[in-house]
Structure 1
Amino acid sequence: MQAWLCENPVGVDALTWKELPTPEPQAGQVRIAIKAASLNFPDLLIVQNKYQMKPPLPFVPGSEYAGVVEAVGEGVTHLKVGQNVACLSGTGGFGTHTLAPAALCFPLPDGFGHVDAAAFIMIYATSYHALIDRAALKAGETVLILGAAGGVGTAAIQIAKAAGARVIAAASTEEKCALCKAEGAAEVINYSVHTPTGGLRDEIKRQTGGKGPDVIYDPVGGDFAEPAFRSIAWRGRYLVVGFASGPIPSLPLNLALLKGASIVGVFWGDYARREPKANAADMATLAQWYATGKVKPVIDRTLPMSELKTAYAVMGSRSVKGKLVLVN
């Protein structure tokens, strides 16, 4: 097998494409021939030693991937050789083969392609957990989605629409705003026109008739958090999803009091670990929605696995719409 190896987590440039022994699965594991792997923000942090999970060195990055089961270890009964699966295991995806815990593998229904599957679990499970479970989103409510043209953002647009909500999507360029409209947003806000310090609150107010959004989905953080939260509706729910802009914001808690609003943490990874049955039910619903066309990953482009460093550079340019996927 071949894989991108991180022997020194000082950044993308230190990754090397190496030939490694093809491993045999141990008890509870399967070996997967990887067909596609998506690039997520944690995949950048982990090779910079900035992610909360710090795997032992050396390791192969790549948190999310899809492929074909090649071999099964002792005790694995729900998967078989030749089966198509997707997996979100945190590492191992940027190569031709990997060992994965069988319990983390999601069997793919017929018609669920590897590229879509590799771009599915993280963004849709996160957004479904956030909007449906944590925010209890109801039909007819208004959702403001920040960073709406990215992977979790486009998934959130689709899920909110499927739930019957009205979506306002915020993104940084006209091109990204056009994508959000195409995915189902009723209104868009262009950050380059309506900045956090220059009219963002006024535009949110205008687009909600002065009421404010019932739910704010925020994977961005930074300077956008406070003006967005100041705009929230009475009994609104502010979803803390991530901090893609870098800085972790500090919100004045008196705002939550004045709006009767909730600040709601969204940590899908721990939810999946602590509440596996609930997460499995979520994934079953999402798979059904995919089969009926309610949700489908937005794929910015696919690149050969050998071009991982190019993919990282594209992601770093913040020009990606949806997801980048590497293929073997």
Structure 2
Amino acid sequence: MSRAVETGPRRSRRSGRQGVWGWLFVSPATLVLGLFLLLPILMALWVSLLHWDGQSDPFTGGETDFVGLDNYRELFTRDGLDRTLFATSLRNNAYYVLFFVPLATGLALTLALVVNQRLLRGRGALRTTFYFPSVTSTVAVSTVFLFLFQGSGAVNGVLSWFGMKGPNWFADARGVVWVVLGGLGLVDPDHPSGLLAEHDFLGLSWFEWLSGPSVAMCTLLFLAIWTSSGTFMLIFLAALQDVPRELEEAAALDGVTRRQMLWHVTLPALRPVLFLVLTLALIGSWQVFDMVYVMGQGAPGNTTLTPAFLSYQSGFGEADYGQGAAIAFILFAIILLCTGAQRLLLRERTARTSRKAVR
């Protein structure tokens, strides 16, 4: 016997009951997310519109002053120390993102390709070795790096064997771009001149914007890449093991080289995972805080200052929670814009690749 077809009203009542039960099952998670995520975000947004020192209730008036968008104006349009520090933190973090995201992603993919080889001996030991820095405490590793890269540390001791004298890494505020150009005799790294020194943006001269990350920031970059690549390697490794062997075998029968196999078989299969790793690296690099806190708190010369640490310093260090919250929301907007732009670029590339394949 064929099943009777449900009528319109009966189907509508059944769908309605399913909707009620669905909301009933997800209500605990929705309540937790709203209480511990959405509500604090809205409260912080309100604080960013206040001049609040953290001593009174910001929601009942009292000694709090509603200043509207003044906290944001001080960071973008008003000359002063606040705008200079904020621009400096943006410059530092922009260089951090520019170097960290591609280097950490490339290194992680390379390590995953190495340990994914079926004929490689000791794959388990290599995977453990590569992943071990990721499970080590960042505070502990940062403390060790402070000893390694100080003026009389082990790194400079090794460089001395080759007749080189290393800098005092965490006390060197020079930008590496101008250090290299000055070493080649192309520019004077200590006395910029011309348009780079005369014009400014957000309170910083173009010389300061284009001088590159400081030597101290490069040390932080090395630490971050070393401790993050293991986690990204595991993500790539899991994706590589899901690539169908039939694709690789068919490509091998067609006589493709290893490089062609990587570009035309492996990487297209890893595209969703590549987007995930790039997104995680991008978000994490804009939120860097713990290394900065342990290894100098912005020193030397604020060249390791980041927006995340500046937000913490403004709120908990200077009792200006309104400005700290404003910096946090600007950082949130920057992360959203960068993630959206990255998604758009990868999607357009995927579409172009698909059109070429159809042709």
Which structure has the highest helix share of the two?
2
* TM-score by shorter chain over 0.5: no
TM-score by length of 2: 0.21
Of structures 1 and 2, the larger Rg is shown by 2
Q: Higher relative CO (CA 8 A, sep ≥ 6), structure 1 or 2?
A: 2
